[in-house]
Amino acid sequence: MDRSENAGVPLERTLRALGVLMGVLLPVYAWTVVQAPIDSVQGVMQKILYVHPPLAYGAYLGFVATAIGGALFLWRGEERHDQLAVAGAEVGTIFCTLMLVTGPIWARGAWGPGNWWVWDARLTLTLLLWFVYLAYLLLRSFTEGDERAARFASVYGILGVVLIPLNYWIIDLVGSAMHPSNIEFQGRDRSLGEGMGLPFAVGNLTLFFAFAYLLVLRWQVGLRRSRLEAQADA
């Protein structure tokens, strides 16, 4: 018997706990962003800071979950691990898409007309990362239920995760027009000004739990679908 059949109750409890956390954090998140100071240069547009980087971290986490799920599937051959990989790719792609949308909006407001997009290193790599996992999802959608395709996708997801550290550190290696540096939290060159640390921290925490909720929910849906298909074929 596939262990995915026994995963329903723990996942349901996890979803409930995450739902409670989200209910508590969302109003706190909104309040801290509203109360955050307005940047003297970028104005209110700067408040996208409390959304854009947390979305990036969610995208990274999703694709790491895909790699972990894929590695476990190659090792153990269990459906639950394959469904974790698919869930990570779907939720990661959602977060990556929102990151690619909010980034140009921020750039347009901060740097004026003509700056929706610049083909610098990080933006190009982020777009490549998005296409890599979009291709993963297309592969899975056309080969659903094919174990050989699932194993190929597992290897693909593991290899694709290599782009994540490269995407993060690329601006330290070659520079970036729209991302002058990674966010620094300490020292003289710290990126966050007075009053910005709390909303940024709460934003990251809230979107982390939003990511976790969506990941568990999609994982649960995938397991239920697989179980129903197995019962129908029996």
In a domain, 7, yes or no: no
Whole-number Å distance between alpha carbons of 7 and 78: 12
In a domain, 10, yes or no: no
In a domain, 43, yes or no: no
Q: How far apart are the first and last CA of the chain?
A: 13
In a domain, 20, yes or no: no
Q: What are phi and psi of 115, to 5 degrees?
A: -120, 35
According to DSSP, the residues that pair with 43 across neighbouring strands are: 39
Say what the alpha-carbon torsion angle 106, 108, 110, 114 is, to the nearest 10 degrees.
150
Query: How confident is the model at residue 85, as a pLDDT?
Result: 96
Structure tokens at 43: 């104005």
In a domain, 118, yes or no: yes
Whether pTM > 0.85 for this model: the answer is yes
**Contact at 8 Å (CB) between 179 and 52?**
no
Q: Can you point out the beta strands (E) in the chain?
A: none
In a domain, 21, yes or no: no
Structure tokens at 76: 């153990």
Query: How confident is the model at residue 109, as a pLDDT?
Result: 67
Name residue 163's amino acid. L
Q: How many structural domains is the chain composed of? A: 1
In a domain, 30, yes or no: no
Q: Spell out the per-residue pLDDT of the chain, length 234, in tens.
A: 445 455 566 888 999 999 999 999 999 999 999 999 887 777 888 888 899 999 999 999 999 999 999 999 999 989 999 999 999 999 999 999 999 999 888 877 666 555 677 777 788 888 999 999 999 999 888 877 788 889 999 999 999 998 888 887 877 777 665 665 555 555 444 557 777 889 999 999 999 999 999 999 999 999 988 888 777 766
Q: Which domain holds residue 85?
A: 49-181+193-233
Query: How confident is the model at residue 231, as a pLDDT?
Result: 74
Residue in the structure block whose two tokens are 């959608």: 141
Residue in the structure block whose two tokens are 């990661």: 92
Query: How confident is the model at residue 186, as a pLDDT?
Result: 53
How is 72-85 classified by DSSP, letter by letter? HHHHH--HHHHHHH
Smallest Cα–Cα separation from 14: which of 225, 212, 218, 233?
A: 212
In a domain, 31, yes or no: no
Helix, strand, or coil here: 177? coil
Whole-number Å distance between alpha carbons of 137 and 103: 23
